[in-house]
């Protein structure tokens, strides 16, 4: 797996002990006094500006607290930056003598397109072949949450999920498939309502062995 290109992208992954933020870590150290509430009020002011520039009346009743709500909503949509795989995985890895495929499918996923700041959402299907270590099933969904609650590109999201599972469990193989609808394509631009984007990452046995891959695909996306 190639992580070099992940540097500069999507924040520091403490699990790997690699700082993936070129500029920001230093900036974060420099602005330690920029507390969370400070950041929230900056975002809130930015939203007030946006509402005004869009031609709306910022003082009308329905919009009075919108900047604050929108700022909090945006912080919720990007809460994945503050979470690390290590925090959630550490306790839930168990030794188990099981080497058959484990699949968790139809995990609802919501993320933000980093190019337009517009949501994309869909389902993630994850499978792995344990190698003496299994993980609590909800942790797979939590990994999806950590990486999806960020400004993302679907390709990178898929890869990050696969990498995280791979590093945590060292399984014989990992497969991740994401099918998602991008509002940036549906609500604007080409405006194709039924288009859906599918990305997949196959690692280990899933990559080497076509039969394993077929079994996974049959059990997940071929209904």
Provide the annotated active-site residues. 113-116, 154, 182, 184
Q: Which one, of 183, 200, 202, lies nearest residue 191 by Cα? A: 183
Question: Up-side HSE of residue 86: CA atoms within 13 Å toward CB?
Answer: 7
**Between 174 and 193, how does the x/- string for binding to other proteins read (CB under 8 A)?**
---------xx-xxx----x
d(CA 36, CA 60) in angstroms, rounded, equals 28
Stretch that binds other proteins, among 52-60, 95-103, 172-180, 208-216 (CB under 8 A): 52-60
Stretch that binds other proteins, among 6-14, 96-104, 162-170, 206-214 (CB under 8 A): 6-14
Cβ atoms within 10 Å of 78's Cβ, excluding its own: 17
Kindly state the smallest distance separating residue 52's Cβ from other proteins, in Å. 9
Q: Is 50 in the site for other proteins (CB under 8 A)?
A: yes
Q: What is the largest CA-CA distance in the chain?
A: 63
Q: Is 2 in the site for other proteins (CB under 8 A)?
A: no
| Cβ(56)–Cβ(114) below 8 Å | no
DSSP state of 66: H
Cβ neighbors of 18 (< 8 A, separation 6 or more) are 3, 7, 12
Stretch that binds other proteins, among 66-74, 83-91, 133-141, 215-223 (CB under 8 A): 66-74
Per CB under 8 A, residues contacting other proteins are 8-9, 11, 21-24, 27-28, 39-40, 42-43, 45-47, 49-51, 53-57, 60, 62-63, 65-66, 69-71, 73-78, 81-82, 108, 110, 114-119, 121, 151, 153, 183-184, 186-188, 193
């Amino acid at each position: 797996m190639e992580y070099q290109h992940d540097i500069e992208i999507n924040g520091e992954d403490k699990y790997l002990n690699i700082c993936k933020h070129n500029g920001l870590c230093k900036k974060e150290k420099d602005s330690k006094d920029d507390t969370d509430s400070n950041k929230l009020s900056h975002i809130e002011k930015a939203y007030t500006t946006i509402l005004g520039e869009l031609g709306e009346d910022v003082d009308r009743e329905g919009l009075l607290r919108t900047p604050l709500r929108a700022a909090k909503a945006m912080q919720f949509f990007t809460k994945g930056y503050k979470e690390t795989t290590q925090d959630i995985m550490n306790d839930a890895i168990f030794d188990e003598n099981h080497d058959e495929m484990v699949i968790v499918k139809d995990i609802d996923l919501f993320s933000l397109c980093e190019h337009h700041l517009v949501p994309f959402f869909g389902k993630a299907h994850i499978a792995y072949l344990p190698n003496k270590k299994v993980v609590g099933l909800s942790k797979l969904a939590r990994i999806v949450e950590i990486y999806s609650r960020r400004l993302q590109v679907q390709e990178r999201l898929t890869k990050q999920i696969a990498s995280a599972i791979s590093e945590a469990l060292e399984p014989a193989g990992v497969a991740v498939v994401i099918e998602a609808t991008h509002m940036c394509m549906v609500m604007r631009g080409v405006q194709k309502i039924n288009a859906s984007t599918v990305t997949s990452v196959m690692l280990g046995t899933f990559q080497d062995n076509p039969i394993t891959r077929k079994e996974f695909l049959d059990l997940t996306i071929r209904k």
